[in-house]
Amino acid sequence: MFVRQFNRYFLHKLPHSGDCLALKSLLSASVTEGNVVVVQQPNGGEPLQFPSVWLRDNCQCSACFHANTKSRQANWKRASVESRIRSINGGAEKDVLTIDWQDNHKSTFRLDWLQDRDFAPTNRKRYIEEVYKPTYQLWGKSEFSNVLRSFEFKDVMQQEEVLLAWLESLAIQGFSRIKNSPHDLTVARQLADRIGYIKRTTYGEEFEVKSKDNARNYAYLMTPLPLHTDMPYYEYKAGINILHCYVQSQSQGGSNLMTDGFYIAEKLRKEFPKLFEILVKTPVDWYDIGKDGGMSFHNIWRAPTICTKRDSHFTVPLEQVAPWYEAYDKFIELAYAEAVNFKTNPGDVFVFNNLRMLHGRTAYEDSPTNKRHLIGAYVDWDIIYSKIRIIRAKYSTKC
């Protein structure tokens, strides 16, 4: 309360200027009774606020901070939380705040550094949305045409702004379509390399989705492929799935199905809270046992996640099984009710968030002259978000 009144008092006195180059006066600062440092900005913006213990912990001097590695010096024995400010000086140097601590340490902080880390709710929100991760836009079937984003392969490969827009669409809408890619087996790899690098799994780096004799994975059959996410049996699941349509089936089927799983989970939470609770709390045994590329594997991951490839091992108490099926059936019913259906053409690349989108395929039939053939590759979200941040920072106009 004290801080709020303090701010209001100063706000009246400060001139307002939207121009961040017009830094006419020096910054000033003071400390509240609650040990919060309040910095008045020279250009008259909202006062910035920082707990003094946080400033002490984030001292930028060379003894406390290693500038080259952008890291705190590796010493966990930081100054006591009780370390008080002896004096604070905002006017010694232009746009620099100087603090003398009672333990005879001295810290200096640049105004732009402080502005970027201000604890005000608006600034924390800005950081989370603009720097950390863009906010998801959940969508149902009726909104599909509004959330569909299409990009030209050539533009994604050649223009950094288009690459950024593509990655943002994956982060926000959860999927997108890339058109007019060349008739080339390396398209999925080229796109993964454009972001960073491919995630290797038990199915190799690139994987081919086509009907195979003696198929060792359900996706390699011509039967309908129910809605699912890939690799629920991995602790570190694939972030996005890049599916390049190399040859499409000329038969009736072979369409993609897709539902926003987060939208369905949210719908379930609102409309059937008890069922939602069961799906959140009941751990499920996901598994994959097989052989690919000469390597045998036996993956198990135990987690309360919605998926369709469950082990027949179900390691929960007996009485939890039937309620889980009831909740699961409702989730699947909602997921199919909201699923969109579309068929990709050769040269299309369907890319989606594998942790969010449930995807599937209708049945199809190969003929001797027409064999459906997709090539897929995975990329992890850590790599994608990093790329988004790097490109955004490059084009940032923040001053």
Q: Which positions touch Zn ion (CB under 5 A)?
A: 59, 61, 64
CB of 74 to Zn ion, least distance (A): 14
Beta-sheet pairing, 256-260 with 340-342: antiparallel
Start-to-end CA distance of the chain, whole Å, equals: 31
CB of 59 to Zn ion, least distance (A): 3
Of 55 and 164, the one with the shorter C-beta distance to Zn ion is 55
Of 85 and 377, the one with the shorter C-beta distance to Zn ion is 85
CB of 107 to Zn ion, least distance (A): 5
CB 292 within 8 A of CB 202: yes
Task: For Cα atoms 200, 204, 210, give the angle at the middle one, nearest 5 degrees.
Answer: 130
Enclosing H/E stretch for 389:
helix 381-395
Structure token digits, residue 18 = 């939207």
CB 164 within 8 A of CB 393: no
Structure token digits, residue 356 = 């969010």
Of 101 and 175, the one with the shorter C-beta distance to Zn ion is 101
How far is 399 from 161, CA to CA, in rounded Å? Answer: 20
Of 59 and 242, the one with the shorter C-beta distance to Zn ion is 59
CB atoms within 10 A of CB 9: 10
Of 76 and 395, the one with the shorter C-beta distance to Zn ion is 76
CB of 109 to Zn ion, least distance (A): 11
Of 109 and 233, the one with the shorter C-beta distance to Zn ion is 109
CB of 62 to Zn ion, least distance (A): 8
CB of 106 to Zn ion, least distance (A): 7
How far is 374 from 185, CA to CA, in rounded Å? Answer: 9
CB of 120 to Zn ion, least distance (A): 25
Adjacent-strand bridge partners of 85: 101
Q: Single out the residue of 251, 271, 254 nearest to residue 337, CA to CA.
A: 271
How far is 218 from 105, CA to CA, in rounded Å? Answer: 64
Of 57 and 208, the one with the shorter C-beta distance to Zn ion is 57
Look-up: residue for tokens 């897929």?
376
Of 66 and 291, the one with the shorter C-beta distance to Zn ion is 66
CB of 50 to Zn ion, least distance (A): 15
CB 47 within 8 A of CB 7: yes
Of 67 and 399, the one with the shorter C-beta distance to Zn ion is 67
77-104 burial: b if 16+ Cβ within 10 Å, else e: eeeeeebebeebbbeeeebbbbbebeee
CB of 72 to Zn ion, least distance (A): 10
